[in-house]
């Protein structure tokens, strides 16, 4: 085979570099705002009262620090494997596989819970066969539609994502500004912290779940046109959701009594109906639908398929995940497997209760992500030290992007992650749940070690 022909074959079987800054930004924002704020945050407001506004802001800046702490790695070592690659290189194989698997599997789990949330929103408009059946029906339909969208190609998926996110951010910005202009019921803000500091602290993990998705940007490394856009997008996506949603939370609390919040209906929809009637409620329900949809497109389907792709290329996942369709340039088989897992989770939510499955899985997902991020942040610190040891004085000139306020940013990121773990592991159920999936991961790692000893995998392979 000639060199030109070999290059053509290689290009047809690898991911396509075509994502611009705005498409990457939309992946981050869409994953961040997801379903968490529109549905799950209702429980957060009930948990903390009006002080949930501060909890949302606090969680937003916590997550921003964590995202920025991984920025230099994302730009300097762009890879679909992301955390898996970085932690394997600067820590060890166990840490790398742990970071990659927890991030990816959690996103798949969230695919089931987010689809349930989207089904709940759709049932508000079209309660086919009753609320319960309609929730399941629409969850299955839209999960499948977005899987097909991802299979069709990253350009198609990212352009749809960008359009939806622009509409979403526009709706929420107008909602916040118009709500303040309309006037708020200040009595709803008192007492501001009815459950004291405990209520504030217990709301933080809920808000963090809503904001954690920006890390999906890190997995765009193999498909971005310019790696520098990864670092820029991590910053601007984080700043976008902090400003837009903190403003929107003020309007929500000012429009609706916090004791009326629940998981059944979006609190933003209730607030819009209170301020502007049924039309306002419908518009915000559209925003809630978009938020859940964008979370599925870029988070639950795109992200795990790319991380698994990177892992499968070197043998740490079944090779089926590394198969790229020559026409769409996407890992079609991997996406189909992820779709099937999501379907199982949707059906589990329908059988055992969406709210129970939703809240339980969300807590475990936050724990898993946070543990993986602690490892990635430590890897980022080691990467910076390596660059310094190599005599690199101007980090920005060398890799194209520089983490702001180093070393303050990674210190805040680590402290925030440890505090978040403390808040999440606050009961026997949470601890037992963590032990179960940790045991499952250890079995997986033991299998990988067995392959390495048998010579089936290289001891020196990094992602």
pLDDT in tens, the chain (463 residues): 334 333 333 444 578 888 999 999 999 998 875 556 666 676 778 788 899 899 989 988 988 999 999 999 999 999 988 899 899 999 999 999 999 999 999 899 888 888 888 888 888 788 998 888 998 999 999 999 999 999 999 999 999 999 999 999 999 999 999 999 988 889 999 899 999 998 898 888 777 777 778 889 999 999 999 999 999 999 999 999 889 888 988 998 898 887 766 555 667 778 888 888 888 888 888 888 898 899 999 999 999 999 999 999 888 899 999 999 989 999 999 999 999 999 998 888 777 665 555 667 777 888 888 999 999 999 999 999 999 999 999 999 999 999 999 999 999 999 989 988 887 887 888 899 899 999 999 999 999 989 888 888 776 555 4
In this predicted structure, what is the pLDDT of residue 441? 94
Helix axes 52-69, 196-211, angle to 10 degrees: 50
In this predicted structure, what is the pLDDT of residue 117? 80
Which of the 8 DSSP states describes residue 190?
S
In this predicted structure, what is the pLDDT of residue 333? 95
Q: Could you identify the residue written with the tokens 């949809």?
A: 293
Does residue 326 sit in helix, strand or coil?
Answer: coil
Integer Cα distance of 374 and 379 in angstroms: 9
In this predicted structure, what is the pLDDT of residue 225? 93
Q: Which two tokens stand for residue 243?
A: 């400003």
Q: Which two tokens stand for residue 237?
A: 């996506």
CA distances from 261 to 81, 106, 198 (A): 39, 26, 19
In this predicted structure, what is the pLDDT of residue 269? 78
Question: What is the full DSSP assignment across 329-396?
Answer: -S-HHHHHHHHHHHHHHHHHHHHH-HHHHHHHHHHHHHHHHHHHHHHHHHHHHHHHHHHHHTT---HH
Does residue 224 sit in helix, strand or coil?
Answer: strand
Does residue 233 sit in helix, strand or coil?
Answer: helix
285 forms beta bridges with none
In sequence order, which residues have a C-beta less than 8 Å from that of residue 184 and are 6 or more positions away?
A: 250, 251, 253, 254, 255
> What number of other Cβ atoms are within 10 A of residue 76's Cβ?
21
* Nearest residue to 61 via CA among 305, 242, 243: 242
In this predicted structure, what is the pLDDT of residue 354? 55
In sequence order, which residues have a C-beta less than 8 Å from that of residue 136 and are 6 or more positions away?
A: 119, 346, 347, 350
In this predicted structure, what is the pLDDT of residue 463? 42
In this predicted structure, what is the pLDDT of residue 13? 55
Q: Which two tokens stand for residue 284?
A: 């915000």
């Amino acid at each position: 085979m000639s060199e030109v022909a070999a290059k053509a074959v290689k290009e047809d079987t690898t991911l396509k570099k075509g994502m611009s800054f705005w498409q990457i930004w939309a992946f981050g924002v869409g994953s961040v705002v997801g379903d968490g704020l529109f549905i799950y945050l209702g429980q957060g407001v009930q948990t903390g009262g009006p002080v949930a506004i501060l909890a949302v802001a606090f969680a937003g800046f916590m997550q921003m620090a964590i995202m920025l702490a991984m920025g230099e790695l994302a730009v300097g070592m762009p890879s679909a494997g992301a955390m898996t690659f970085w932690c394997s290189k600067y820590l060890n194989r166990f840490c790398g596989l742990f970071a990659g698997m927890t991030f990816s599997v959690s996103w798949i789990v969230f695919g089931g819970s987010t689809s349930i949330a989207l089904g709940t929103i759709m049932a508000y408009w079209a309660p086919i066969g009753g609320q319960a059946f309609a929730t399941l029906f629409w969850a299955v339909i839209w999960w499948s539609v977005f899987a097909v969208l991802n299979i069709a190609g990253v350009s198609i998926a990212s352009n749809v994502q960008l359009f939806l996110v622009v509409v979403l951010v526009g709706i929420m910005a107008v909602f916040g500004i118009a709500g303040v202009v309309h006037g708020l019921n200040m009595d709803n803000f008192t007492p501001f912290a009815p459950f004291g500091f405990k209520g504030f602290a217990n709301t933080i993990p809920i808000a963090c779940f809503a904001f954690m998705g920006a890390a999906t940007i890190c997995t765009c490394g193999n498909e971005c046109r310019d790696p520098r856009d990864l670092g820029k997008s991590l910053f601007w996506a984080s700043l976008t959701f902090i400003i837009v949603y903190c403003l929107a939370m003020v309007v929500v609390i000012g429009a609706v009594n916090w004791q009326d919040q629940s998981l059944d209906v979006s609190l933003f929809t209730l607030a819009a109906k209170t301020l502007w009637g049924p039309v306002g409620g419908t518009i915000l329900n559209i925003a809630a639908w978009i938020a859940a949809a964008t979370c599925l497109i870029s988070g639950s389907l795109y992200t795990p398929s790319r991380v698994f792709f990177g892992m499968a290329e070197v043998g740490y996942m079944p090779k089926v995940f590394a198969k790229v369709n020559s026409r769409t340039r996407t890992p079609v088989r991997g996406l189909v497997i992820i779709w099937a897992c999501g379907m199982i989770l949707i059906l589990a939510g329908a059988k055992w209760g969406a709210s129970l499955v939703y809240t339980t899985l969300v807590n475990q997902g936050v724990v898993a992500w946070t543990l993986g991020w602690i490892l990635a942040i430590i890897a980022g610190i080691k990467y910076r030290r390596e660059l310094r040891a190599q005599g690199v004085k101007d980090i920005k000139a060398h890799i194209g992007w520089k983490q702001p306020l180093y070393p303050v940013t990674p210190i805040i990121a680590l402290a925030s992650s440890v505090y978040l773990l403390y808040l999440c592991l606050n009961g026997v159920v949470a601890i037992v749940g963590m032990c179960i999936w940790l045991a499952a991961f250890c079995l997986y790692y033991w299998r990988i070690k067995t392959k390495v000893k048998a010579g089936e995998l290289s001891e020196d392979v990094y992602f």
